[in-house]
Amino acid sequence: MNKIKALKEERGRLLGELSTLQTTIEKEARSMADSETNRLSEIEARLGAIKAEVETLEKLQNLAAQAAGHSASRGEEKEKENMAKDYSFKRAINLATTGRREGVEGEFSQIGAEEFQRSGVSVSAHSVKIPSEVFKRDMTATGGTSGSEGGVNVQTSVGSIIDVLLPRTVLRGLGVQQLSGLVGNLDMPTASTVPSAGWNTENGSASEKSPAFSKITFSPKRLAAYIQVSNQLMLQSSNSIDAYVRNWLLNAMAQSLETAAIKGGGSNEPTGIIANSSVNVTFAGGASSNSTNANGIAPVWADVVNLMKAVENANGEGVAYLTNPKVKAALQTIPRQASGVEGNFIWASGGAELNGYNVATSTLVPSNLTKGTSSTLSAMIFGDFSKLALASWGGGMELVVDPFSGATAGLTNVILNSYMDVNLLQPTAFAVCKDIVA
């Protein structure tokens, strides 16, 4: 930095010398002497050298600053990760109950509040904010050595929590886009016409082929979860309650978001793939129209192919199929041809591919769709899942604690708010069959 300063000062002196020389010649109304011409050449050459050297030094200085900034940023991330290891949901719930803001939980709440503020999302000043770093910890309720993260600290008279079997969340594995840390609403312009050119005569006027644009808007939608925690459980080890509550939070939010992304369209929720009116639609049984099978029908091999065809006809390029276990079981027992050889099933037993593409299953893909008199129909999706985007604001969640409503039953109510949205960036990159009997 001192070197740059010295060079700039030298440049200033040289420019001053040039200015004096010019003023003198103009005042005396004469031509430049040979010595003055030589000096002018020397100054110009030196100014060029100074410029090049200053640019090089400033570039090095900027690179050093960027490296230092990256190092500082990484240092901050590391510090947050270390703090997250000491984070306790039990203490966070107590802070929300008492209104105090202290310790790691209080500091994280302040960080979370700043994240929400930058994102333009309004949250309660009386709640506790939980940044995303907290959710990066190991979530297993019985993790560690011999259950050191949970079970060994719980009194045997109480017993450990046996949770329900949960639906599989699969969208992230299929390559969906994740937009995090958004600020305010996000508009994404999208072209809605295919580029084209026109043939013409040698001197004929070209026809205008103006592109048309529309936009996709992401806006924060409140995704709320509600859990009741017994006061007795709160009195147990912080490890056990932390593991349970953290697991519950992640699973509740992940499943609700994925359910909306797959189907959606309900009250106050985003519109997902199945409910989007612009996706390609095919019909079970190889039907050519929705009216062919009034109440749905069992799947055939043509249904798998037709989903692929619908996407490719729309200039899309699908990467995977997605359905539920009922359809999977049906496809593993139905032959490709009506008179097919035993074992020549649509979906090979144990296979991880279908029609040459990856395939995933989850009970979050609905099996309660309606058509005609049927209300137990299943869906199957094919498409390019990178054209599906999951958006989030604030970088974490807002935790609100109510110790009063369930006081007579010895319960503390915990409400969790997150702000998310789902959008299809290109709806025609997906095809859906939603009248499958399985």
What are the tens digits of pLDDT across the range 128-140?
Answer: 888 777 765 443 3
**Residue range 236-249: average pLDDT?**
68
Q: Residue 51: pLDDT above 80?
A: yes
Q: Which is it for strands 357-361 and 320-323: parallel, antiparallel or unpaired?
A: parallel
Predicted local confidence at residue 236, as pLDDT: 63
Predicted local confidence at residue 87, as pLDDT: 81
Write the CATH number of the domain with boundaries 86-191+215-438.
3.90.1690
What are the tens digits of pLDDT across the range 402-412?
Answer: 888 888 888 88
Q: Taking the domains of the chain in order of start, what are their residue ranges?
A: 2-30+39-84, 86-191+215-438
For the chain, the average pLDDT equals 82
**Residue range 273-287: average pLDDT?**
96
**Residue range 37-51: average pLDDT?**
86
Predicted local confidence at residue 65, as pLDDT: 65
The phi, psi pair for 319, rounded to 5°, reads: -125, -15
Instruction: Specify the pTM.
Output: 0.69
pLDDT band (50, 70, 90) for residue 75? low
